[in-house]
Amino acid sequence: MSTDVTAKSPAPAPPGGSGPAADGGLLGLVLAGLRRNMRQYGMLIALGLIVVLFAIWTDGDLLLPRNVSNLVLQNSYILILAIGMMLVIIAGHIDLSVGSLTAFVGAFAAVLTVQHGISWPVALVLCLVVGAVAGSVQGYLIAYLGIPSFIVTLAGMLLFRGLTEILLKGQTLGPFPDGLQKLGNGFLPEVGPDTNYHNLTLLLGLVLIAAVVWQEFRDRRRQQEFSLDVLPTRLFLLKLTALVAAILVVTLLLASYKGAPIVLIILGALVVGYGYVMRNAVFGRHIYAIGGNLPAAKLSGVKDKKVTFYVFLNMGVLAALAGLVVAARLNAASPKAGVNFELEAIASSFIGGASMSGGVGTVLGAIIGGLVLGVLNNGMNLLSVGTDWQQVIKGLALLVAVGFDVWNKRKSGS
Amino acid sequence: MAGPVLEMRSIVKTFPGVKALSDVTLTVRQGEVHAICGENGAGKSTLMKVLSGVHPYGSYEGDILFESKTCQFKDIRASEQHGIVIIHQELALVPHLSIAENLFLGNEHATRGLINWRETLRHATALLRRVGLDEHPETRVADIGVGKQQLVEIAKALSKQVKLLILDEPTAALNDEDSDKLLDLILELKNQGITSIIISHKLNEIRKVADSVTIIRDGRSIETLDVKAPETTEERIIAGMVGRDLDHRFPERTPHQPEEGAAPALEIRGWTVFHPIDQQRKVVDDVSLTVRRGEIVGIAGLMGAGRTELAMSVFGRAYGRYAAGTVLKDGTEIRTKTVAEAIGHGIAYVTEDRKHYGLNLIDTINRNISLTALDKVAQRGVVDEHEERQVAEGFRKSMNIKAPTVFEPVGKLSGGNQQKVVLSKWIFAGPDVLILDEPTRGIDVGAKYEIYTVIDQLAAQGKAVVFISSELPELLGMCDRIYTMAAGRLTGEVPRAEATQEVLMRHMTKDKEVTR
């Protein structure tokens, strides 16, 4: 290996045998592409499969416009939590407190707006600040005092739950002002001429499609510039078509009901923003570095404590946002809100490709993982499966997803 | 003279890609203390692992005869049943259990699964008396010092009816007093008829306790000497340890001409560091050294000499508990309390353990390279992936990193290529001073040469290079000056012209004497 320099060609060959597959039909191409990117696409395909299966089992009810809209609203807060949880898990930690924290923030919002009549924008900001403070206290204990995150957030879980009950005196408090309710149940306003569809949603969908197509082509061009392995043209077009079709379908479904939920817009912004940070920002890089190999990151000058602190602060803010959305959706703050949310968020992250030892995962993965659970929930509700069996099935889904990941990793020999 | 109790004949042990032992023959006589001596990586520990069944029968070639019977140990338990007990360098005690519990771990005095505490304590007390350890058997192991823990290990061996005791560098972690006590105990056990094999670097210890010494070099047994014979001097042993031909090649190198008057790029004064856990132990003791621009300065020392500890503690106090000392860069004192500060002052430390401290193995080549200096490829906190990729591609070509793309996970590369990534990472950080800790450990000869060339180029560019290595030929081939360390102290400074393996080895085995 030391002398064999000639074998090293300047144009790198794509890993895995793509040669024969390139000559095969489109199906062969697709299969080869999938095989190479099993980890990336595995869960996406699983999600697609689950959607198709439940659509069939429910005689299409799953994909009725009203239900799709519901699906988004029902799962939005778990998805918001899952984004933050993904960061925490990538950094090599865990946060068990977020369920209780969402309840606490919901209660706080209720006390502010319902009991004290504070205007809702002010209350919203105050709630996010409370989340940030809660997150930063936990983050400080974990990062700077070195108390394990499991312990700190387990304590936080009990503590915030207790504080919620104290704040609400065991009662349910509501209703919220209209503005805040919109956060959980609201849709984009209706504008323009009366078509059968929701105009603004259609417009947004088209903008999104344009953005995605532009982004995909730009990525591809850049990769080609560096003579990197790119998808074969036919496969690339297929992927692009599938992507556009998926966005189009969801857009049309939403637009033929009440339009895009406001929380979906927020969620979309979060996914794009956090995806960008984790991929392109120095901060995101440092999160992957401390999760992947903490001693090496330290010796590379990464301020590991600061990074850990901010990851938990961020989790607190997102938990507060999720808390507001839940409270707004139920239109009441309840002492029992947010129970098990932390577990759903953690499960979403692991289904979406996070690793127990940290350093691995993507924001999009957390969303896909969350959607897998969400569609399972919704689909089983439509089929009137009892909550008992729902839990069993969700547990199995988590096991299968992570088991598949482990098996796949071992097979590829890494 | 007593007959042999142990014979190991023509032992060959191969790991994937490396021949750790190519032909070792060892004969130990009944009732003697037999020392095994050799450089780091010569194969001493591997040999003992073969003997004790850590590497089971079938994974090596050759024969082992113990008490004239052929032995085929399939694990440690099997060798222990024959009375062969090994005490590893890293002690195998459970810190939160008591001495007594540790003594009989896996071998409890119990009836039907219930521990008989009376019998346990009685037996433990007897064993502790035998090794001269004055501690209550119910004391937690974590609460006693390393020296006493070592005695507990020996007591544990005695409880197993030991006939042949193997000690792997037993005094490496001990202070003078504890070392003496331990050596006395070995002699005492010898009087009780227990044969011992002791692996040690320290020639004064060997002279004190051993009857004979076998020298191992590059996986071969070279010779066995009678320690008590007058012709077996320390020089004689050293000659045996180092006497190989230079089988490595080094790039042609014009020795550095120091500029008169210019302050050294890096100067360390009176650097003293304590062990992170054992607060009493000085791991680095009053070390002062200088490195000039364009100079390659070696640090030689055997295992436990404190080389890595010195480097890591200077580099942002990443090791141990700082006690005293200053760091000067180009003549002015600098703060290096954190790694970020050290990097900011243009110091880079390339770790000896690239897998644990050097690289994020699950991440890609480009992301590993950019990590130390992400700001160089980022604007306002946003990484320019375009530029990052170009930087990584540049290093892939210039360093000849063999990987299809820079998006390959580093964990999939070979050792030599991983090392090139680590070096790239630190070169990208743009330091003035590079501290290289065993930069060629565990990589093949071809890759070694490439790395030597890079180091040479760095010095030619005016960087100051500190080169820590256990391979003396490598230091002799590359360095302008070589410091030697032993037991945390500097024991010598040898200019290139005067440096030979023998001279260095003499300084490196000088254990605790200070000479300047």
Residues of chain A in contact with residue B409, where contact means CB-CB under 8 angstroms, are: 414
Which residue of chain B is at minimal alpha-carbon distance from A282?
B381
Q: With an 8 Å Cβ cutoff, are A8 and B402 in contact?
A: yes
Which residue of chain B is at minimal alpha-carbon distance from A8?
B402
* Token pair recorded at residue A179: 């503005």
Say how many C-beta atoms besides its own lie within 10 A of residue B337's C-beta: 11
Percent of chain B having pLDDT more than 70? 94
A215 band by pLDDT with thresholds 50, 70 and 90 = confident
Whether the pLDDT of residue B278 is over 80: the answer is no
Whether the pLDDT of residue B191 is over 50: the answer is yes
The predicted-structure confidence for B75-117, as pLDDT tens digits, reads as follows: 888 898 899 999 887 778 888 889 999 999 888 888 888 888 9
- Residue B244 CA, chain-centre distance (Å), reads 20
The pLDDT of B462-477, averaged and rounded, is 90
Taking domain A41-186+261-404, whether its CATH number is 2.60.40 is answered by no
User: Lowest-pLDDT range, A6-15, B197-206, B393-402, B431-440?
Assistant: A6-15
Residues of chain A in contact with residue B443, where contact means CB-CB under 8 angstroms, are: none
Query: Which residues 216-235 of A are in CB contact (within 8 Å) with B?
Result: 222, 226, 228-229
Q: pLDDT higher for A381 or B113?
A: A381
State how far the Cα of A345 lies from the Cα of B162, in Å rounded to an integer.
56
Q: Within a domain: residue B447?
A: yes
Q: With an 8 Å Cβ cutoff, are A289 and B405 in contact?
A: no
B429 band by pLDDT with thresholds 50, 70 and 90 = very high
Stretch (H or E) spanning A205: helix A199-225
Q: pLDDT higher for B264 or A7?
A: B264
The pLDDT of A7-15, averaged and rounded, is 38
Q: Which of B414, B404, B487 is nearest to B446 (CA)?
A: B414
**Does A182 reach chain B within 8 Å, measured CB to CB?**
no
The predicted-structure confidence for B344-368, as pLDDT tens digits, reads as follows: 999 999 998 888 889 999 899 999 9
> Exposed (0-12), middle (13-18) or buried (19+): which is B190, by Cβ within 10 Å?
middle
Q: Within a domain: residue B116?
A: yes
Residues of chain A in contact with residue B383, where contact means CB-CB under 8 angstroms, are: 280-282, 285
Both B149 and B222 in one domain: the answer is: yes
Residues of chain A in contact with residue B363, where contact means CB-CB under 8 angstroms, are: 288-289, 292, 359
Tell me the pLDDT of chain B averaged across its residues: 87
In A41-95 the beta strands, taken as DSSP E runs, fall at: none
Structural domain total, chain B? 3
User: Lowest-pLDDT range, A57-66, A147-156, B10-19?
Assistant: B10-19
Q: What are the extents of the domains in chain A?
A: 41-186+261-404, 192-260
Highest mean pLDDT: which range of A111-120, B12-21, B278-287: A111-120
State how far the Cα of B464 lies from the Cα of B298, in Å rounded to an integer.
11
Q: pLDDT higher for A103 or A36?
A: A103
State how far the Cα of B265 lies from the Cα of B261, in Å rounded to an integer.
12
State how far the Cα of B164 lies from the Cα of B208, in Å rounded to an integer.
19
B405 band by pLDDT with thresholds 50, 70 and 90 = confident
For residues B217 and B240, the answer to whether their CB atoms sit within 8 Å is yes
State how far the Cα of B170 lies from the Cα of B157, in Å rounded to an integer.
14
Which residue of chain A is at minimal alpha-carbon distance from B447?
A2
Q: Within a domain: residue B516?
A: no
Both B379 and B449 in one domain: the answer is: no
Helix (H, G, I), strand (E, B) or coil at B174: coil
Specify the pLDDT at position A269: 94
**Does A298 reach chain B within 8 Å, measured CB to CB?**
yes
Residues of chain B in contact with residue A283, where contact means CB-CB under 8 angstroms, are: 381
Q: With an 8 Å Cβ cutoff, are B445 and A360 in contact?
A: no
Residues of chain A in contact with residue B414, where contact means CB-CB under 8 angstroms, are: 1
Q: With an 8 Å Cβ cutoff, are A296 and B358 in contact?
A: yes
Highest mean pLDDT: which range of A95-104, A231-240, B214-223: A95-104
Query: How many angstroms away from the CA of B396 is the closest CA of chain A?
Result: 11
Nearest Cβ partner for A299 among B351, B386, B405? B351
Whether the pLDDT of residue B516 is over 50: the answer is no
State how far the Cα of A85 lies from the Cα of A319, in Å rounded to an integer.
9
Q: pLDDT higher for A130 or B58?
A: A130
Q: Within a domain: residue B12?
A: yes
Last residue of a domain, one of B430, B459, B484: B430
Specify the pLDDT at position A19: 40
Specify the pLDDT at position B249: 66
Tell me the pLDDT of chain A averaged across its residues: 87
Question: Which residue bears the tokens 């697709």?
Answer: A30
A33 band by pLDDT with thresholds 50, 70 and 90 = low
Residue B162 φ/ψ, nearest 5 degrees: -70, 135
Nearest Cβ partner for B360 among A229, A279, A293? A293
Query: Which residues 382-441 of B are in CB contact (within 8 Å) with A?
Result: 382-383, 385-386, 389, 393, 400, 402, 404-405, 407-409, 411-412, 414, 416, 425
Q: In CATH, what number is assigned to the domain containing residue B452?
A: 3.40.50.300
Query: How many angstroms away from the CA of A382 is the closest CA of chain B?
Result: 41
Q: Within a domain: residue B90?
A: yes
Specify the pLDDT at position B20: 81
What amino acid is encoded at A243 in this protein? L
Nearest Cβ partner for A296 among B316, B338, B357? B357
**Does B319 reach chain A within 8 Å, measured CB to CB?**
no
Last residue of a domain, one of B406, B430, B454: B430
The predicted-structure confidence for A249-298, as pLDDT tens digits, reads as follows: 889 888 888 888 999 999 999 999 999 999 889 999 999 999 999 999 99
Q: Within a domain: residue B49?
A: yes
Test the B interface: residue of A8, A9, A299, A304 with most B CBs within 10 Å? A299
Which residue of chain A is at minimal alpha-carbon distance from B384?
A280
Specify the pLDDT at position B25: 92
Both B209 and B105 in one domain: the answer is: yes
Q: Look up the domain containing B408 and give its range.
A: 360-430
Nearest Cβ partner for A289 among B360, B408, B444? B360
Q: What is the ipTM of this complex?
A: 0.75
